[in-house]
Each structure stands twice: as structure tokens, then as C-alpha cells.
Amino acid sequence: MDEDVRHEPFPATAKVQVLLAEYSGLKSHIVARTSAAIQASAIGVASLALIVPQLEACPVAGLILLGFLVATVVVIALSIYRDLMAEVSQVRRLETRINNLAGEALLTYETEHGISTRAGSRLWWPNKNSN
């Protein structure tokens, strides 16, 4: 490899384009994870509808199935939540980086209104953070 090769600095506009591509991909992942959570919830409700009659017919087996369902739902929910919050955090960092490179606030949704902000938490818990 030639040691005399100089690399030109990456122009700010090119950096913004690369970061926007990553931003777009992460937003797509967030939508996919949210859809997965909704699908998992639907499967959980359908499973519950199948287990409830078992509680009357055979209480021990029904309780075992119910415990298994609850444990499975908790593990899946925590996994989706962990991955979702990691992606949201990365999107917020990208918004800040892109806005700094652009010199103005072009991307603000996740930083100002996303679920990990006070404004976003009011979507789910309206009385929380009402100051």
C-alpha cells in the first residue's frame, strides 16, 4: 500500500448523506420493532384465549401454561424494549450530529417528541410529567 496517498477530507454534505442513510435505516428498524411488539401482543391475547378454558378443565395444567405464557411475554417484551431504546438513543445521537453538521435543526422529532422524552412519555402517561 502506498504511504504517500492522501485522503481528502470528507465534505460535510457527504457526511450528512451517509448519516441520513443510517438515520433512515434506524427509523425503519424502530417501525419494525414496534410492529413486532404489536404482533407479539396479538399472539399473547390469542394464546390467553386458548389457555383460559384450560384453567377450568385442568387447573394445574392451565396454571402451568399461563405461567409459561406470562414468562414468554415478559422476555419478548423486555427484549423488544431493550433493542428499541438502543435504536432510539442512536437516532437521537444521529439527529444531533446531522443538525450540527447542517448548522440548523433539520431533524428534531426523536430529540423533542420521541418516546424517551418528557413530551413522548405524555403520549402514554398523560398525567405524568404534567409540570
Spatial contact of 114 and 120, defined as CB atoms under 8 Å apart = yes
Model pLDDT for residues 91-116, shown as the tens digit of each residue: 999 999 999 988 898 888 888 877 77
Q: How far apart are CA 35 and CA 72, in angstroms?
A: 18
Half-sphere exposure in the Cβ direction for 28 (13 Å, CA): 6
Q: In this structure, are residues 44 and 1 in contact, taking their beta carbons and an 8 Å threshold?
A: no
Q: From residue 63, give the alpha-carbon distance in Å to each of 51, 56, 66, 117.
A: 9, 10, 5, 38
The 10s digit of each residue's pLDDT in 75-89 is 998 999 899 889 999
- The pTM of the full predicted model, rounded to 2 decimals, is 0.72
